[in-house]
Amino acid sequence: MNTVAIVGGGVIGGGWAARFALMGWNVRIFDPDPESERKIGAVMANARRTLPMLYDTPMPTCGTVTYHATIAEAVQGARWVQESVPERLSLKASTFAEIAANVGPDALVGSSTSGFKPSQLQENLGSLAARLMVAHPFNPVYLLPLVELVPSARNTAEHIDAAKEILVSIGMYPLHVRAEIDAHIADRLLESVWREALWLVKDGIATTEEIDNSIRYGFGLRWAQMGLFETYRVAGGEAGMKHFMAQFGPCLHWPWSRLTDVPDFTNDLVDLIAGQSDAQSGHASIRDLEVLRDDNLVALMRALKQQGAAAGKLLIDHENSLRMPLADTVPLITQSRIVPVDWTDVNGHMNEGRYGQVFSDASEELMAHIGADRAYVTAGHSYFTAETTIRYLAETLAGEAFTVATRVTLGEGKKIRLFHEMRRAADAEILATCDQFLLHVSLESRRSCPPLPQVAARLEALAQAHRD
Amino acid sequence: MNTVAIVGGGVIGGGWAARFALMGWNVRIFDPDPESERKIGAVMANARRTLPMLYDTPMPTCGTVTYHATIAEAVQGARWVQESVPERLSLKASTFAEIAANVGPDALVGSSTSGFKPSQLQENLGSLAARLMVAHPFNPVYLLPLVELVPSARNTAEHIDAAKEILVSIGMYPLHVRAEIDAHIADRLLESVWREALWLVKDGIATTEEIDNSIRYGFGLRWAQMGLFETYRVAGGEAGMKHFMAQFGPCLHWPWSRLTDVPDFTNDLVDLIAGQSDAQSGHASIRDLEVLRDDNLVALMRALKQQGAAAGKLLIDHENSLRMPLADTVPLITQSRIVPVDWTDVNGHMNEGRYGQVFSDASEELMAHIGADRAYVTAGHSYFTAETTIRYLAETLAGEAFTVATRVTLGEGKKIRLFHEMRRAADAEILATCDQFLLHVSLESRRSCPPLPQVAARLEALAQAHRD
């Protein structure tokens, strides 16, 4: 088992500790803060709960986490040392001197600094300098993959590659920053938005909440998948990145930019950006990129919808405003919709598991129809599915419209039995059937019991109608 | 049925047309571009495929879409007119004059402009001025909910509310921009990042792809759910927003900010921002916000994983590096994992439909174990599930660890029958069982056929071992 030393705890050091431990590394921590064990423990608890949720395979055996009184002790046997002490150069320097004096000759050292360049950190460290790089992560470190790996001219290709390999092995994306620069890359972008946002608040144009909404309901959803340039490449349409720059370059000289220095839109700059964009995304047509963008937006927004958060909360509210009561037909048409992209596998076919969801959604509609709706559940009563048998009869694809027709085949006392037929809308081919048996339960006792009289009456009437 | 007039097609006008039509409005389009019908048709096709995927309920009946030779004809009967002509003030002015001369007295008019303030557009329009506002959307208009609604002093509260109501009814989030300002809100933020990114490319610090990666693997995932200030509130920890500002305010004076004008961090500004942040997020503790953030990150990253895109692609690659062959036990342990947050309903219980996925994943592991792996499928052979019977025996929650033990109960010719037991890891309680019947198929003919000899042999041996 590999060993990592974490020097400096807090939110960032704790995040590193959690990621390494959950990826099977033994973790040795040094932090002079007497509260550090409690603070790191809280970060570890968050990480333990969520990092394994990202993976559909068994996780490595979690490493041990130990706390040590000195840097000398913490770095013993470490393959990687991660420094996350406060951003003061003198403190960083004394910390690295102590690491250099005690660490093994093959260990690599990463600094979480956002403020210093690697060459500033490498001063007076002898042979350690070549093995020390900036490895700047993003909070929460245990979930976000980005880590900016910034070497200087003192680092060899061999050490840089070894660092990348370790970071990849713990599930991160090392972005090799090829030039030393204050704040690296991502923080420069963040800093520019932070500045502009501060002006907007100070000048009374917008509140913090309005600014957050302007991000999370709009371009934030684009950036989670494509970032800046690929998004603009798509916006430029078939004419491509040069067209986009011709159209939007001049905006930079509009009044709102008067406070800032802006690079001239020379042909050289346009060619440089268009060329890099071609290298990045030129394998895909704009039409293909639009499809990717839209599929990803659907998947992201549906993920937020399932969480009831941000743009997903808006969707739920809007959907509720569109909801209509079921028409009183025999059978009941309990679903009428299309297969969304997040229900499909890599081939675009609807996943086996999603059929269960379709029929679960269908029975939920039927429940609402007989009065066992959300309010009924909130009041402590519900139907739980006890058994389902699904027959898979034909494949279906993302975007295909389908309906579910539902018959009540039994509705007596605490028992309901339903038979669902799922059909492709285009040709009425049966895609799947489901025989579903449910029991009425008390949510308090968690045991089966008869439904309330009004629900029992509506169920009986429905069962009678479906029998006739 | 309501009617909207779309004046100016293109990507933005086409996006508006698609959203209105799919939300049940009749759409009347004017665009002098002879190619407009083809261009808008392409946007409509994208929207028709994806917008309904966001909804789990039946959609409204799609409105009609008609093309008209003049603005006068297009605006007949319109309740809403949306202008999206090119960003030249003289062109906007003549367009609005023509709208004013022909539109009904109750119609509201939105402008998609990002460059002009509403008071600039309202000049010389008589009574229409009070019903004209900026309604600035984000591409793709048919999916992203954000629309910046910017009135001027000429607009009454009544007209502003009526505009909001219409925009909400078509699934958008009207962000009421209370002060007229060049570029409104979101584009100022975008513009600031665009400037910084241009410098980074021009100075050779980073390529367009590196910049995009620095966004989509890091803060882009945070911004899709929380935006800027709420993210920083969480980063500040229990000490809150004032602490965060005390810690990160000084960064603004670091060297990388030397080119820009920065507001002074007076107590007034700190109080203003901390107060607004309290009003926005003060109902939740930092710990609660961390849980929300992490749950949303898991859901967003798993959504991207299901799409094989961006941070999700990184996860797939990393997961494959962690994957181990199944241990040769009887029964086979085909799943060992925890319930992720995106598998649960609002109560935190695992959804009925996800049990089907668990057992589908379990049988996929078994298939790989007998040699019917991805390569076998790529070569044109596969097992399709024909029927499953699931018994639901106990509830399970997000974060709970479980295993699935799988026995082959039949393995003969083209038939496989499996029996899966899903148990909670903590107490070995059986959560659900699944009896699953699969048939071997040729992916070419889509019909059942015997498996290849090496798979048949491994299956038979496994069936024998499980029988003994």
A319 at interface of B, judged by CB pairs closer than 8 A? yes
What's the pLDDT tens digit per position in B279-304? 888 888 888 888 999 999 999 999 99
B460 at interface of A, judged by CB pairs closer than 8 A? no
Phi then psi dihedrals of residue B25, to 5 deg: -95, 145
Q: What distance in Å separates the CA atoms of residue A260 and residue A252, rounded to the nearest whole number?
A: 9
pLDDT at A257: 43
Q: What distance in Å separates the CA atoms of residue B267 and residue B286, rounded to the nearest whole number?
A: 23
Tell me how close the Cα of A7 comes to any Cα of chain B, in angstroms. 20
Tell me how close the Cα of B454 comes to any Cα of chain A, in angstroms. 25
Tell me how close the Cα of B231 comes to any Cα of chain A, in angstroms. 9
Would you tell me which CATH number, out of the four given (3.40.640.10, 2.60.120.560, 3.40.50.2300, 3.10.129.10), belongs to the domain B324-467? 3.10.129.10
A158 at interface of B, judged by CB pairs closer than 8 A? no
pLDDT at A261: 61
What's the pLDDT tens digit per position in B226-275? 999 998 888 877 677 777 777 665 454 444 443 456 667 778 888 888 88
pTM of the prediction? Answer: 0.91
What is the token pair recorded at A289?
A: 């990129």
Fold identical between A3-176 and A324-467? no
Helix axes A352-369, B352-369, angle to 10 degrees: 170
User: Is domain B3-176 in CATH 3.40.50.720, yes or no?
Assistant: yes
Q: What is the mean pLDDT of chain A?
A: 92
Nearest to A226 by CA among A276, A312, A296: A296
pLDDT at B446: 86
Select the residue of A55, A319, A355 nearest B56 (Cβ to Cβ): A319
pLDDT at B244: 76
Q: What distance in Å separates the CA atoms of residue B89 and residue B96, rounded to the nearest whole number?
A: 10
Q: What distance in Å separates the CA atoms of residue B26 and residue B65, rounded to the nearest whole number?
A: 6
Q: Sort out which chain B residues have CB atoms less than 8 A from A388's CB and list them.
A: 352, 388-390, 392
pLDDT at B249: 58
Interval B84-102 mean pLDDT:
96
Mutate to test the interface with A, among B208, B291, B395 (most CBs of A within 10 A): B208
Tell me how close the Cα of A130 comes to any Cα of chain B, in angstroms. 22
Q: What distance in Å separates the CA atoms of residue A296 and residue A142, rounded to the nearest whole number?
A: 23
B311 at interface of A, judged by CB pairs closer than 8 A? yes
Does B280 contact A337 at a Cβ distance shorter than 8 Å?
Answer: no
Binned at pLDDT 50, 70 and 90, residue A196 comes out as: confident
The mean-pLDDT minimum among A27-36, A342-351, B23-32, B148-157 falls in A342-351
Interval B354-364 mean pLDDT:
95
Mutate to test the interface with A, among B22, B57, B164, B374 (most CBs of A within 10 A): B57
The domain segmentation of chain A, as residue ranges, is 3-176, 206-323, 324-467
Helix axes A286-307, A310-322, angle to 10 degrees: 80
Q: If contacts are CB pairs under 8 Å, which of residues 208-247 in chain A contact chain B? A: 208-230, 235, 237
pLDDT at B258: 39
Select the residue of B192, B202, B390 nearest A195 (Cβ to Cβ): B192
End-to-end CA distance of chain A, in Å? 68
Q: Write down how long chain B is.
A: 468
What is the token pair recorded at B84?
A: 């999206």
Q: What distance in Å separates the CA atoms of residue B19 and residue A34, rounded to the nearest whole number?
A: 57
Q: If contacts are CB pairs under 8 Å, which of residues 267-286 in chain A contact chain B? A: 269, 272-273, 276-277, 279-280
- ipTM surpassing 0.95, yes or no? no
Return all residues near B278 (Cβ < 8 A) that are at least 6 apart: B240, B241
Does A256 contact B56 at a Cβ distance shorter than 8 Å?
Answer: no
Does residue B380 surpass a pLDDT of 70?
A: yes
